[in-house]
Structure formats: C-alpha cells, structure tokens
Amino acid sequence: MNSLKRRTLFCLLSGAALSAVSFGFANAQDRTSVKIGYAVSKSGANATGAGITTIPNYKLWVKEVNDAGGLTLPDGKRLPVEVVEYDDRSSAEDAVRFTERLASQDKVDFILPPWGTGFNLAVAPLYERFGYPQLAVTGVTDKAPEFAARWKKSFWMLGGGHDYANALADVLKAAREAGQINDKVAVISVADGFGIDLIKAARPALKEAGFTLAYDKTYPVGTSDFAALVNEAAASGADSFIAFSYPPDSFAVTKQAQTARFNPKVLYVGVGGAFPIFPKVSDGKQEGVISIGGVDGSSDRIEDYFKRHEAFIGAKPDSWASAITYASLEMLAQSVQRVGLDKAAVANELSTGSFDTVIGPVKLEDNQLRQLWWAGQWQGDRFVAIAPADRSGAAKPVIPKPQW
C-alpha cells in the first residue's frame, strides 16, 4: 500500500512539474502577421448574446481585413491578421485565465474583449496590467466614467442604463405632448443587472416627465410565462407598456401580447428587440415595436454593412451593439494604420483620434462613446433609431403602434 502511494505521488509530482514547465515556455514573436486574440463565450449562458453581437463581427472583420491583404501599417506595409481564439464557456474565471494566456503565453498584439459587462470588468485589470487597449463594446454600465478613469486604456462604448431609460422617457414625453398617449405607464423589469439599472433610472425619469407608473413589477430571470403579467398590465389602463427584459423574455412578452390581443399604443421591449430574429418571433408583425438601440435608417454605410454581414455570416446583425462592435474594430484598424502596433500608441490614438466608421464619424469623449442611438423602432423590416430625436439620422417614431 505504502509503495503504491509513494509511486503514485512521484508520478503525480513529476507529471505536474513537467506539464507546468511546458506551460512556462514562451512563444517567440512573429512579425509576418498581426496576432489578434479573443476569449469569448461560445458556449454556456452568455453564448446567446456573444453569438449574435460579438463573434460574428470579430469573424467578419478579420475576413474583410485579410481579404484586403491585411492590416495597414504606417509605412504602407500590410500584415495579415492571425487569430487566436478561446471559448470562455461563460465562466468569469476561464475568461480571466484565457486572457492571461493570450497576454503572457500567446503574446498577441491586441486582445478583443469578451461579451458582457461582467466579463469586461473581470478582464479590465488584466488589460491594464499588460497594457492592452480594451474596446469594451458590450459593457453597459452607468459607472463607465469611473471605469474609464480607473483603467486608463479601457473604452466604454455602449452607455449605461440611465441613458436608455432617460431617452425612453423623452420619447414618451414627446408622444404625450403630441396627444398620442396618456400619462400612465405599465412597466415590468427583469431582476438582473441591466434590467435593474434600467428600472431604477426609469422610475424617476418617467415621474419627472409627468408619467405615473400604473403597474411596476420585477420578475425573476427564467420566467417563461407572461400571461398573468401581460394581463395585469393590460388591465392597468396604461397606454404604454414597457418591458425592461432580456431575450428570451422579450420574445415571450411580445408573443403573449399578440396572443392576448393586447395593443398598447407604445410597446417597448428590452434586449432582444433589436435582434434579427425578432421579426420571426413576432410573426412578421414587428411594426412599431420600440426597443433598445437602433441604427441610422438613412445611412448607406449601415445598409452596406448589413448586407456584408448577412452574406458572410448567414444572418443579419443585431441593430444595437453589432454595428458598434464592428465600428470599434474599424477604429482599431485605423489606429494601427496611423501609429503602428505599439499598444500604448494605439490606446492613445483611440482615446484622442477621430474615426470614420459604419456608424458614422466617431470621437470618444473621456474614453467613452457618447454618440449612441438609445432607442429604435421597427419600421418595415428595419429597426431604425428614433432617439435622440434631434440627432441627424433619427427617424420619427410611429405612435401608436399598429394593431397586431
């Protein structure tokens, strides 16, 4: 028994030592290409979000860059992009560890960030430690100014719950003043990070805009049946029904409203409303549904981007963060073209430079993107931006929503 234990231990230790040593070997850097790495959620709970917004745009961008010959450097030379990709399996620890691997083992030139606010926060200290610029596109947080100040090379590009809630309040206020809706609002919100941010900001914003919350309830993540909730909201007498929801709740709420023949004058769903699958979910009756995000309906660049995305990926992009993700990559490419591959120089260029992207001209303010579309509406088969209403490219909202 004893010798078995001894032998086993010895095997264990030498095995561990050997494998550990082999992990310690560093890779020599390769200058016939630009190495770009990313660790995103290909499986697990976050895969639904990453699979629509992040992964397709990363792949699309790499393909287009390489089709053109590669990334252009300041001296005019082009270097192809070599990709190192990992699946973080929707685990924060794995996301952190794979980012450590990208930085210290694979020694990539740039790391493209993971999907979601939580994961972007988890890896932010790492990016800072290794000097990588972090284009945190899918990080929605009201604390973005704080984070931008804390991690000097992080760029927060999707705003925070406050922005979206306030914009919605503005849209509703304008509609009420135009006599299209009454002053009652029914709201349901998902009991999760973004849903809570939205409802906490929406309550004071709506009150200030002169609305009363006739129905205000929070539901847990994982709720699948909205029959009772929609029924109550319909009975509240409110002309506007707001759901600060996630997919699949956004889909379920829409379907339920259709089934119950509930036709609020304004129907607002949360994340998922801008997804390409929404028209299918709503059985082709998406006209008039308002949701988060939006794209410039009059922009040719956007239309072209949608076509290219659909041609390569096989599906349209979402109309919220997809285009911004792609734009962030365009910013990266343009920065590299101007200042080369030095991380600090690129970070500085991202922070101070002006860029030409699919979402129009972009210049960051305090390392944040503030020129965003906060609300959009399905008009025809496109999800066009309607807020901020005074920005060029905004479409006029169609209120009331046509009956199902």
Partner 1 sequence: MFLSTLIFGLMLGGTYALIALGLSLQYGIARIMNLAYGEVLIAAAFIAFVLFSSYGLSPLWSLFIIVPLGYGLSFVIYRVMMRPLVRRSGGSGHLEVDSILATFGLLFVIQGIMLVAFGGNYHSYSYLAEGIDIFGTTVALNRLLSFGLSVAIGGGLYLALTHSRWGLNLRAVALAPKSAPLVGIDVNRVASIGFALGGALAVAGGVMISMYQAFSASYGVVFTMKALVVVIMGGVGNLLGALVAGLLLGLVETFVLVYVDPGLTLAATYLLFLVVLLWRPEGIFARRGK
Partner 2 sequence: MIPLLIGLAAAALLALSPFFFDAYGVGVIIGLLGYATLASAWAMFSGPTRYISLATVAFFGVGAYTVAVLSEVLPWPLVLLCAALVGAALALVVGLSTLRVAGIYFVIFSFGLAELIRQLITWYEVNVTGTLGRYIFLPLEPQHVLWQLLALAVITLLLAILIDRSKLGLALKAIGDDEVVAAHAGINLARTKLTLFVLSATLITLVGAIQAPRWVYIEPAIVFNPQVSFLTVIMALLGGATRRWGPILGAVPLFLLFEWLGANFPNHFSIILGALFILIVFVLPDGVLAALEKLRKKEKAA
Residue with tokens 């847990």: 220
Binding of partner 1 by 5 (CB under 8 A) = no
Query: Cβ closer to partner 2: 19 or 212?
Result: 19
- The number of residues that bind partner 1 (CB under 8 A) is 42
**Binding at 124: pick from partner 2, partner 1, none (beta carbon under 5-8 Å per type):** partner 2
Site string for partner 2, 28-67 (x = CB under 8 A): --------------xxxx----------------------
180 torsion bin: left (phi>0), alpha (psi -120 to 50), beta (else): alpha
Work out how close the CB of 230 gets to partner 1 at its nearest, in angstroms, rounded to a whole number. Answer: 10
Among residues 138, 256, 351, 379, the one that binds partner 1 under rule CB under 8 A: 256
Residue of 4, 21, 26, 228 that binds partner 1 (CB under 8 A): 228
With residue 368 as reference, give the H or E element that holds it. Answer: none
Least distance between partner 2 and beta carbon 111 (Å): 13
CB of 183 or CB of 192, closer to partner 1:
192
Residues in 185-204 that interact with partner 2 by CB under 8 A: 191-193, 196, 200
Beta strand ranges found along 298-402 (DSSP E): 354-357, 360-363, 375-379, 382-387
Rounding to the nearest 10 degrees, give the CA dihedral for residues 394, 395, 400, 404: -120
229 binds, among partner 2, partner 1, none (CB under 5 to 8 A by kind): partner 1
Which amino acid is residue 193, in one-letter code?
G
Assess 48 for contact with partner 1 (CB under 8 A).
yes
* Whole-angstrom distance, CA of residue 267 vs CA of residue 399: 10
Q: How many residues does the chain have?
A: 404
Can residue 217 be called a binding residue for partner 1 (CB under 8 A)? yes
Per the DSSP assignment, residues forming a β-bridge with 72 are: 78
Contact 152, 344 (CB under 8 A): no
Alpha-carbon span 145 to 149, nearest angstrom: 6
The interface mask with partner 2, positions 220-259, x = CB under 8 A, is xx--------------------------------------
Q: Which span (7-15, 157-165, 212-220, 348-356) binds partner 1, by CB under 8 A?
A: 212-220
In the complex, the smallest distance separating the C-beta of residue 112 from partner 1, rounded to whole angstroms, is 18
CA-wise closest residue to 159 among 387, 379, 316, 392: 387
Half-sphere exposure of 139 (CA within 13 A, CB side): 28
DSSP letters for 324-336 = HHHHHHHHHHHHH
Residue 184 β-bridge partners: 212
Choose among partner 2, partner 1, none what residue 207 binds, the Cβ cut-off being 5 to 8 Å by kind: none
Distance in angstroms (rounded) separating the CA atoms of residues 43 and 90: 7
Q: Which residues bind partner 2 (CB under 8 A)?
A: 2, 4-6, 8-10, 12-13, 15-17, 19-20, 23-24, 26, 42-45, 85-87, 89-94, 96-98, 100-101, 103-105, 117-118, 121-122, 124-126, 129-130, 150, 191-193, 196, 200, 218, 220-221
